[in-house]
Amino acid sequence: MCVRDQALLYYRLLLCGVEEARGALQGPMADPSLGVLIGRPAEPVNQWAHSFNTLEPLRGSAPLECDRDFWELRDSVVQCELVVLRQLNFHVSFEHPHKYLLHYLLSVKSLVNRHAWCRTPVAETSWALLRDCYHGAVCIRHSPQHIAVATLYLALNSYGVELPAGEREWWQDVTKADIEAVISDLLRLYDLEAKCI
């Protein structure tokens, strides 16, 4: 099953429930490869590809005709995409901090007492803090290396895990001011969330 169809299936399941999702799978415009989920035999792609429209169960109507309305809608979508790309200065690749956090976790784990590492959930807390960074603009404002270092630093300090003397600054190319900036943005995000509750 392709990713698009999995997304449609999960959307239907979450939005409407199991029966509605089953109806979308059994509909005349449904992807026949999804029929395996409800017990139908699979059909060759060339028998159904010409009439397949994944959005039809969501829209509840026939597919758009290739007339003037279709092309106007298409052009407006393209124009919106271009506006977004211009606002992003065509920088659409993004480096996530996960690989850096993994590297730093492995490095710090080798420096810390094994029993202290096992007793405290430093790794789990670091990952949770990193996930929380995505709830605001922290990942946009700061570099991924700085975010990874700051989340691990905050987790270590939260549990009072001490590093051996001389190994205090286990990070590289990151200043204390960078770490504090990320932590303050993250804590500001938690304050904002607390105000909403």
In the predicted structure, residue 85 carries a pLDDT above the cut 60: yes
Q: Which residue has the tokens 């409800």?
A: 38
The pLDDT value given to residue 153: 92
pLDDT class of 1 with cuts at 50, 70, 90 = very low
194/197 Cα distance (integer angstroms): 5
Quote the DSSP letter at residue 94.
-
Q: What angle do CA 74, 79, 82 make, to 5 degrees?
A: 130
CA 179 to chain centre: 23
pLDDT tens per residue, range 126-163: 999 999 998 888 888 899 999 999 999 999 999 988 88
Tell me how crowded residue 48 is: count the other CB atoms within 10 A of its CB.
15
Q: Percent of the chain scored above 70 by pLDDT?
A: 64
109/153 Cα distance (integer angstroms): 13
Question: Could you please report the per-residue DSSP string of 127-148?
Answer: HHHHHHHTTTTHHHHS-HHHHH
110/52 Cα distance (integer angstroms): 54
In the predicted structure, residue 36 carries a pLDDT above the cut 50: no
The stretch 32-46 carries a mean pLDDT of 53
Task: Return the H-helix or E-strand segment holding 90.
Answer: none
In the predicted structure, residue 27 carries a pLDDT above the cut 60: no
103/111 Cα distance (integer angstroms): 13
Q: In the CATH scheme, what architecture does the domain 98-196 have?
A: Orthogonal Bundle (1.10)
pTM of the complete model beyond 0.75: no
